């Protein structure tokens, strides 16, 4: 076992700087010096659900530099810039893995934190730390030209909206709505606009209208304004719902066009749906989470070609509690990224 320094939960939503274990490199592992890690709303969910007993180090979208390679590593060399997302292993042989959908692995993929290592059963500890050890297959070359801090959120927030947008065939002429203009939402707007779609943002307030237009949207629907939602009724082929709390899907399904799809990627608990809200208009309900290896590689290529990264506010990792607190209050435009260099 080797060790590094990380930010560990202690049963509250504040984190403590402590030494944490990392496994010794296996033959196909690389060690990554973590430079930047995004703060995802999922980290907040995980901290709220934490029992205070198990080891929890959040963080599942990071970029850094390869510091060591195992003997069977072929793709990476020491010094390469890499990006790692929210999945770090899968069985590799099931039909999902064979189809390049490792995110849906029949044995469940190994999560970057809060998961269990497939070989030794130890808990996985996330990227709010100075070093991560990962199979090279689940690390991606960071395209040159992408800012390392602003690219980190692509690896969870980005891929989580990229895969549904692609799977639902979003392109020129598609009318896309993005509900919730946060970390996932702002990247969904950028992606959909760059794919050629006509994009609207569905937000709780009109305050974000200017930002929405700058990000690539052409319109804002204010979910709390009945006139605004009535005007947008039945008008979107695809609605990506990133809202992080349980909510009635009815008003959002009402915005979806005939034969359109609402992809619910934000709240992952139980949902209830009125069948009539689907029946009228033959509407479809879908979801998604993370992405398979080919989709992640394609997303990074697309981002490099279109110059897309997240809009970030970079903070020294010592200010992680402040980042989490402001994320909880919705005071972020549009992703906090921790700079882990202060852990040296
Ligand atoms: N499927 C997956 O694999 C996956 C991956 C990553 C994250 N997630 C989940 O996706 C959700 C969003 O994550 P995020 O990091 O993008 O969060 P975020 O940055 O906090 O953004 C969420 C946005 O939703 C809107 N919102 C917040 N609270 C709301 C409420 N009470 N009612 C209605 N709208 C509300 C806000 O937008 P407006 O102010 O514009 O209304 C907010 O900016 C989280 O639940 C997270 O766990 C899922
Ligand atoms: Zn995430
Ligand atoms: Zn599998």
Give per-residue pLDDT as tens, 40-50. 999 999 999 99
Helix (H) or strand (E) holding 203, with range, is strand 198-203
DSSP code at position 171: -
What is the pTM assigned to this prediction?
Answer: 0.98
Q: Please give the residue range of the domain that contains residue 326.
A: 2-156+291-343
Q: Ligand 1 in contact with 208 (CB < 6 A)?
A: yes
- Return the residue whose CA atom lies nearest to atom 7 of ligand 1: 42
Are residues 242 and 258 located together in one domain of the fold? yes
Residue 145, CB-side half-sphere exposure with 13 Å CA sphere: 10
CATH number of the CATH domain containing 137: 3.90.180.10
pLDDT tens readout for residues 101-149? 999 999 999 999 999 999 999 999 999 999 999 999 999 999 999 999 9
- Tell me the pLDDT tens digit for each residue of 243-268: 999 999 999 999 999 999 999 999 99
Q: What is the pLDDT confidence band of residue 14, given thresholds at 50, 70 and 90? A: confident
Assign 52 a pLDDT band (cuts: 50, 70, 90).
confident
Cα-Cα end-to-end distance for the chain: 19
Tell me, what's the pLDDT at 53?
A: 84
Residue 118 and residue 320: Cα distance in Å, rounded? Answer: 29
Distance 117 CA to ligand 3 centre (A): 14
Q: Which helix (H) or strand (E) holds 322?
A: helix 320-328
CA 336 / ligand 2 centre spacing (Å): 12
Closest Cα to atom 37 of ligand 1: 180
Q: Are residues 106 and 69 in the same domain?
A: yes
213 secondary structure, DSSP code: H
Pair 162, 147 in one domain: no
Pair 148, 55 in one domain: yes
User: Same domain, yes or no, for 304 and 329?
Assistant: yes
Judgement on whether residues 12 and 138 belong to the same structural domain of the protein: yes
Asked whether residue 143 falls in the same domain as residue 176, the answer is: no
Of 286, 317, 334, which one is at a domain's C-terminal end?
Answer: 286
* Helix 157-167 with 183-194: angle, nearest 10 deg: 40
Same domain? For 220 and 133 the reply is: no
CA–CA gap between residue 146 and residue 152 (Å, rounded):
10
**In angstroms, rounded to a whole number, what is the distance separating the alpha carbons of residues 230 and 257?**
13
User: For residue 51, what pLDDT is reported?
Assistant: 86
What pLDDT, in 10s, does the model give residues 73-107? 999 999 999 999 999 999 999 999 999 999 999 99
- What distances in angstroms separate CA 245 from CA 153, 241, 271, one per listed residue? 20, 11, 11
Ligand 1 neighbour 330 (Cβ under 6 A) = yes
Helices (H), 50-156: 95-98, 148-151
Q: Tokens 């997303």 sit at which residue?
A: 299
Q: Is the CB of 58 under 6 A from ligand 1?
A: no
What is the average pLDDT value for the chain, to the nearest integer? Answer: 97
Partners of 83 in the beta sheet? Answer: 63, 140
Cβ of 126 below 6 Å from ligand 1: no
Contact at 8 Å (CB) between 197 and 171?
Answer: yes
Q: Indicate which ligand has the atom closest to the C-alpha of 99.
A: 3
User: Residues 310, 248: one domain?
Assistant: no
DSSP structural state of residue 123: B
| Local confidence band at 12 (pLDDT 50, 70, 90 cut-offs) | confident
Backbone φ, ψ for residue 129 (5° rounding): -160, 170
How remote is the CA of residue 226 from the centroid of ligand 2, in Å?
Answer: 31
Rounded to whole angstroms, the maximal C-alpha distance in the chain is 63
Region 139-168: mean pLDDT is: 98
Closest CA to 195 of 156, 257, 238, 139: 238
Half-sphere exposure of 290 (CA within 13 A, CB side): 23
Best mutation site among 243, 250, 252 for ligand 1 pocket (most ligand atoms within 8 Å of CB):
243
Q: Within this chain, do residues 222 and 273 fall inside the same structural domain, yes or no?
A: yes
Asked whether 139 and 148 are in contact (CB, 8 A), the reply is no
242 in ligand 1 pocket by Cβ < 6 Å? yes
Residues 295, 148, single domain; the answer is yes
Please give the angle made by the CA atoms of 331, 336 and 338, to the nearest 5 degrees: 140
The pLDDT of 170-179, averaged and rounded, is: 98
Whether 85 contacts 155, CB under 8 Å: yes
End-of-domain residue from the set 243, 263, 286: 286
Q: Measured from the CA of 244, which atom of ligand 1 is nearest?
A: 45
Q: Judge contact between 312 and 335, C-beta under 8 A.
A: yes
Residue ranges of alpha helices (H) inside 153-225 are 157-167, 183-194, 209-215
Q: What is the pLDDT of residues 255-307, one digit of tens each?
A: 999 999 999 999 999 999 999 999 999 999 999 999 999 999 999 999 999 99
**What is the 8-class DSSP label of residue 312?**
E
Å from CA of 106 to ligand 2 middle:
21
Omega before residue 334 within 30° of 0, cis: yes
Residues 267 and 303 placed together within one structural domain of the fold: no
Two tokens, residue 257: 């066009």
**Domain count of the fold of the chain:** 2
Ligand 1 centroid to 182 CA: how many Å? 6
Looking at residue 153, the DSSP 8-state letter turns out to be: G
Q: What share of the chain is helix, strand, coil (3-state, %, to 5)?
A: 30, 30, 40
Instruction: Tell me the DSSP string of 214-265.
Output: HHT-SEEEETT-HHHHHHTTT-EEEEEE--SS---SHHHHTTEEEEEEEEE-
CATH of residue 217's domain is: 3.40.50.720
């Amino acid at each position: 076992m080797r060790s590094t320094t990380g930010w560990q939960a202690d049963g509250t939503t504040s984190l403590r700087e402590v030494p944490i274990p990392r496994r010794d490199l296996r033959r196909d592992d690389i060690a990554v010096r973590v430079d930047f890690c995004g703060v995802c709303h999922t980290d907040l969910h995980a901290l709220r659900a934490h029992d205070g007993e198990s080891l929890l180090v959040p963080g599942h979208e990071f970029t850094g530099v390869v510091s060591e390679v195992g003997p069977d590593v072929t793709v990476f060399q020491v010094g390469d810039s890499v990006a790692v997302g929210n999945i770090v292993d899968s069985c590799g042989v099931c039909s999902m893995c064979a189809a390049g959908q490792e995110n849906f692995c029949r044995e469940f993929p190994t999560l970057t934190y809060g998961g269990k290592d497939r070989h030794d059963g130890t808990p996985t500890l996330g990227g709010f730390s100075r070093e991560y050890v990962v199979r090279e297959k689940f690390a991606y070359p960071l395209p040159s030209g992408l800012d390392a801090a602003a690219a980190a959120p692509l690896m969870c927030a980005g891929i989580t909206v990229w895969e549904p947008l692609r799977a639902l065939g979003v392109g020129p002429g598609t009318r896309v709505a993005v509900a919730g203009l946060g970390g996932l939402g702002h990247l969904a707007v950028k992606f959909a606009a760059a794919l050629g779609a006509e994009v609207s943002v569905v937000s709780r307030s009109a305050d974000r209208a200017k930002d929405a237009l700058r990000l690539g949207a052409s319109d804002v629907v204010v979910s709390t304004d009945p006139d605004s939602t009535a005007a947008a009724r039945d008008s979107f082929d695809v609605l990506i719902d990133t809202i992080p709390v349980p909510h009635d899907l009815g008003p959002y399904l009402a915005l979806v066009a005939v034969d359109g799809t609402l992809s619910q990627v934000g709240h992952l608990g139980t949902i209830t749906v009125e069948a009539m809200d689907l029946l009228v208009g033959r509407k479809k309900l879908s979801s998604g989470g993370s992405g398979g290896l080919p989709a992640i590689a394609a997303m990074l290529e697309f981002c490099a070609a279109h110059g897309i990264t997240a809009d970030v506010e970079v903070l020294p990792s010592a200010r992680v509690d402040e980042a989490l607190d402001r994320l909880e209050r919705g005071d972020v435009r549009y992703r906090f990224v921790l700079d882990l260099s202060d852990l040296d």
